[in-house]
Structures are given as C-alpha cells and as structure tokens.
Structure 1
Amino acid sequence: MKKNHREKLQGIMFSLPAVIILGVFTLLPVIYSFYLSFNKVSLIGEVSYDFVGLRNYISALKDPRVMIALQNTAKYVAIVVPAQTLLALLLASVLNSGIRFQNGFRTLLFLPTLTSSSALTMIFMFLFSVNGPVNKLLLQVGLLDSPIGFLNETSTVLYAIIIMNVWSTVPMFMTIYLAGLQDIPKTMYEAAEIDGANAFQRLTRITIPQLVPVTNYIVMVGLASTFQLFDQTYIVSGGSGGPNNATLTLSLIIYQYAFKTFGTMGYASAIAVLLTLFIFVISMILRKFTNEDVTGEGGV
C-alpha cells in the first residue's frame, strides 16, 4: 500500500508542472475570455467592465464583417481540408510503394514543415508577386496575356493563400499517413492478390478502410487548424483583411476588434467563443458521421 501510494504521488508530481502550465496559459485565459464576452471592457486607465449580457453575441451575429469573415473561413476550410488530406494520402502511398530514393524524397517533402509560416508566407508573396516566377511561367506557357497581382486581386488572393497552406501542411499529414500505411499487415495485400484483387480493389477494400482512424485524426486536426487561419492573412494583407475583405478570417477579425478598435475587447471575446463553439459543433458532427461509416451504426 505504501509503494502504491508513493507511485501515485510520484505520478502527480511529474504531471503537476504540465497541469499548472495548461491551467495558467490555457484554461484561465479561456475562462477569462468567456467572462469578457458578456462585458463591455475599457482598457484605458483602470480596466473596467460593464456587463451587457448577450449583447456582444447578438451584435456579432448581425455584423456583416463577421459574416464575410465566416464565408472566407468556410471557403478556405472547404478547399484546404479535403485537398491536404487527399494529397497527403497520395504522396504517402507513392513513398510507401518502394520507389527509389524514397528516403531522400521524404526529406525534401518534409522540409516545408520545418520552416516558420511567416517565412513561407514571405516566400509565396514573392512567388505570386506581379514580377514573380508564377506570373513569368504563366506568361511563357501562354495562359496569361499580362501579369496578374494575385495578392492584390479580390478574386485570387485567398486562393493563393490556399495553395501556400496546402503545400506547407501536406508533408506533416503525409508522414502520419505513411506511418499508418506501414502499420497495415502485408499479409492482407498478399491474400487479396491471391484472390485476384487488382490495385484499385486493394486500395478501396484494404488501404482506405484500414486508414479510417488515421484519416479521422487528420481531418479533425485539419479542421481545427484551418478555422484558426491568421498569420498568413495578416502578413499578406498587413492586418487589414484586404483587398476588399477578401482575406478577412474569423481569427483576423477577432484580432482587429481586440487590439485595433477601442472598447471592443468583450466583443472580440464573444466572436472567439462563437468560433470555438462552431469548431466544436462541426467536429462533433463529423465525428458522428465517420463513426457511422466505420461501425455501420451510430457512433459512441
């Protein structure tokens, strides 16, 4: 009994630093932000709180700029999450097929993950500039008659950011898929070949079903990260969300109301709470449907 008590105490002591850090830097800010969302906050001089109830939430749901940010974020998520998931699976399958120099290809493909998002954004701003390599290439192959300011046009700037983020996030998910592929027993493929299954049948009957848990994880992580898009749109637009609000996302508008507009910290907190609830609801809905696909019945 003394030994068990000592082991439990040791476990508590080892986990205590992590619990304190999470509590101070994660849990307390979340609770404080939730409290602020019900108040009008003044940060001039002595901080003051004026309770306004649900007024911040109602105003956020009626705010046209919030709706624009929601539309931009939803479009970004709807394109990036499927694209990065499919490309990651495709690249992992190629690298797992036994091609030559696969270790070298893995290293090269993983390099973007090791670079900060700010540096990647600056690189892509150069690539998509009016005189950048992308415009020169499109002019040479005859797809353009004159250079396009991809990052200055309302119709193209968000898609340029989408291309950049897909390129930078695929390597990490590719690595996760690669680990999942290598965990599938080879005997399953050998038995399928003996039964006369072709490559497509092996993919749809073995590979994809076996990778469902990995795919669920990748999609969930992808949803959480894409809904919080901030740094790329901030750098590209200089924090304005332009041109014409084309890069305005929910995270960026939260930043604007919190730190750029006087007296709207509580309003920004309300939008942050709504974003958190939105991500939670979407994740739970997706989790339910993926569990139904796996089990054939309602998920646990």
Structure 2
Amino acid sequence: MKKKGEKLQGLIFSLPALIILFIFTLLPILYSFYLSFNKVNLVGDISYNFVGLGNYIKALRDPRVIVAIQNTLKYVIIVVPAQTLLALLLAYILNSGIKFQTGFRTLLFLPTLTSSSALTMIFMFLFSVNGPINKMLVGVGILNQPVGFLYDSKTVLYAIIIMNVWSTVPMFMTIYLAGLQDIPKTMYEAAEIDGANAFQRLVKITVPQLVPVTNYIVMVGLASTFQLFDQTYIVSGGSGGPNNATLTLSLIIYQYAFKTFGTIGYASAIAVVLTLFIFILTMILRKFSNENVTGEGLD
C-alpha cells in the first residue's frame, strides 16, 4: 500500500508536466502526422482532402527537397565531428591545469549566452565584403580581392558551418569538462609511471573513459544540426539562397507551411520524414553506444 501511495503521489506531481507535454508536444506531432496524408486548405472553409502517401511520394520527387537533404547532410557531416573533436580538445587543455583556466572557460562560454539571431548578425558582419575576415585574408595575401562569402553559393554554407561550430563548441566543452572530472586521477598517475606521454594518456585513458559523454554529445549534435533553421533563414532572408545553397529541411518545411498556399500537408510530410530520420539515427547511435558500454563492462 505504501508503494502504491508513493507511485500515486509521483503521478500527481508529474501530471502538470505530462499534460503540458501532451498538449504542446504530442498533440502537434500527431496532428502533423495526420496532415501529412491530406491536402489541406486552412483559409476560409477549412477542408481536408485525403491523398494517402501522395505527399511523401511528391517529396521524394521534389528537386528542392533533394537539394535541402543534400545541404542538411553536408552540414551535419561536417559540424557534428568538428564540434565534438574541438570540444574534447578544449576541455582536455582546460582540464590540464593551465594558467588562467577560469578566465579562459568564461571567455569560451560567452557565445552560448548570446542568442542565435545576434550571433548570426555578428557573423554576417564578419563575413561581409568589407568585414574583418575579408580584410585579414586580403592583407596577408590569401585573397587578391574581397569575396562575398554570404553571396556565393560555394562558400555561404561553409560560413554558416564555421559560425555554428564556434557557437556550439563551448556548451559541449563544458559537458566534457564535467566528464573529465569523473575520471580517477590515479589512472593518469599509473600511466605516467609506466612512461605514457600526454598524447598516449589522451588516447588510451581520456577518450575511452569519455565514451558515454561523447555518445550523448553526438546524439544532441545530430538532433540539433538536422534542425538547422534560424541561421539559414537570417542569412538568406528566408529564401534558401543563393541558388538554394542554404536551403535546409527545416527551412523548406517553413516555406511550404507558411509561404506557399495549400501545401501545409506537404510540409507536414517532409517534417515527418525529418523526424523519423532523426529518431532512427538516434536509436542506432544509442544501441551502438549501449553495446560499447556493455562490452567495456564485460572486459
């Protein structure tokens, strides 16, 4: 009876959060899934015309959706490994006992305290034709003349990649720092006695011990990078330009949902595909990480 009472109390205390989660998360997901099978008119007399898998088939044949998938995958493939590796290296350096490490931590963490929109505006200035980056590259002789990084389809996505890596690394660095604090110092001392240098200690002790932290960071990174929207929206003005170079899945969902008449069902289908893709990748990574942890425990 006591256990049942405790369970009931727990349910009562968590009920408000569960209700909010149901109303603002689960219901919209279910409604979006329903819309993805319909051609919807939300103006005037609201109507739903069931089209089955028509929206999904159309998405697979849509050249703009294919471009959005390519841009998103390119962004994910570059950003996730880069931000993970840089965060680990910075955390390792800051945890090594260097001077002024508290000040360095504060400075490196500052980007996370700034809104994404403000950071995007700052980087648009930095990468502008008359911005500091162009002046520096021309000054050292790397460029003969300023380049419109944000107006060239070959460079604009890479400028956004640099911006996002710079802005996300501090948060992941902080998580790695917390993980490093849990590694017993005796392991490093024993390795040092055995003659292991700093690099060997990093590869043989630090990296394996941080596998669960790394798996978490990669999963969070995958989920966030696949949903890239605000930076590409601000840089391109919502168009996905130049020449669809900044068109991502989240941005094209927005365009079809709010900028094109009668295509909200189609936008919902793309959103469902994106959600399923993120979910499947996350589950695969989670299963892989669990197997690694289990294997390490058995060893």
The residue that corresponds to 1:246 in the other structure is: 245
What amino acid is aligned across from residue 113 of structure 2 in structure 1? Answer: L
Distance 2:153 2:291 in 1: 40
Distance 1:292 1:149 in 2: 47
What is the CA distance between 1:288 and its match in structure 2? 3.8
The residue that corresponds to 2:31 in the other structure is: 32
* Runs of 5+ consecutive residues of structure 1 not aligned to the other structure: none
Distance 1:111 1:196 in 2: 38
The residue that corresponds to 2:275 in the other structure is: 276
The residue that corresponds to 2:15 in the other structure is: 16
The residue that corresponds to 2:191 in the other structure is: 192
RMSD after superposition: 1.3
User: 185-194 or 264-273: which moved more?
Assistant: 185-194
Distance 1:20 1:290 in 2: 32
Q: Deviations over 1:45-67 (max 9, x none)?
A: 02110000000000001111000
The residue that corresponds to 1:177 in the other structure is: 176
The residue that corresponds to 1:141 in the other structure is: 140
The residue that corresponds to 2:6 in the other structure is: 7
SS at match of 2:49: strand
What amino acid is aligned across from residue 87 of structure 1 in structure 2? Answer: L
What amino acid is aligned across from residue 253 of structure 1 in structure 2? Answer: I
Distance 1:291 1:15 in 2: 28
Q: For 1:86-97, what aligned pairs fall within 5 Å after superposition?
A: 86-97=85-96
1:68 aligns with 2:64: no
* Runs of 5+ consecutive residues of structure 2 not aligned to the other structure: none
**TM-score normalised over the length of structure 2:** 0.96
Q: Cα gap change, 1:93/1:250 in structure 2, threshold over 3 Å: closer, same or farther?
A: same
The residue that corresponds to 1:117 in the other structure is: 116
The residue that corresponds to 1:228 in the other structure is: 227
Distance 2:3 2:194 in 1: 53
What amino acid is aligned across from residue 28 of structure 1 in structure 2? Answer: L
SS at match of 1:151: helix
Distance 2:77 2:51 in 1: 35
The residue that corresponds to 1:108 in the other structure is: 107
The residue that corresponds to 1:207 in the other structure is: 206
What amino acid is aligned across from residue 159 of structure 1 in structure 2? Answer: Y
Distance 1:55 1:230 in 2: 26
What amino acid is aligned across from residue 20 of structure 1 in structure 2? Answer: I
The residue that corresponds to 1:262 in the other structure is: 261
Distance 1:115 1:179 in 2: 22
What amino acid is aligned across from residue 140 of structure 1 in structure 2? Answer: G
The residue that corresponds to 1:157 in the other structure is: 156
What is the CA distance between 1:11 and its match in structure 2? 1.5
Q: Deviations over 1:223-277 (max 9, x none)?
A: 0000000000000000000000000000000000000001000000000011111
What is the CA distance between 1:10 and its match in structure 2? 2.4
Contact 2:69 2:249 in 1 (8 A): yes
What amino acid is aligned across from residue 78 of structure 1 in structure 2? Answer: I
User: 191-200 or 100-109: which moved more?
Assistant: 191-200
Contact 2:212 2:289 in 1 (8 A): no
Contact 2:68 2:249 in 1 (8 A): yes
The residue that corresponds to 2:216 in the other structure is: 217
Distance 1:289 1:8 in 2: 33
The residue that corresponds to 1:42 in the other structure is: 41
SS at match of 2:85: helix
The residue that corresponds to 2:50 in the other structure is: 51
Give the total of aligned pairs.
296
Distance 2:204 2:143 in 1: 43
The residue that corresponds to 2:97 in the other structure is: 98
Q: Cα gap change, 1:4/1:280 in structure 2, threshold over 3 Å: closer, same or farther?
A: closer
**TM-score normalised over the length of structure 1:** 0.96
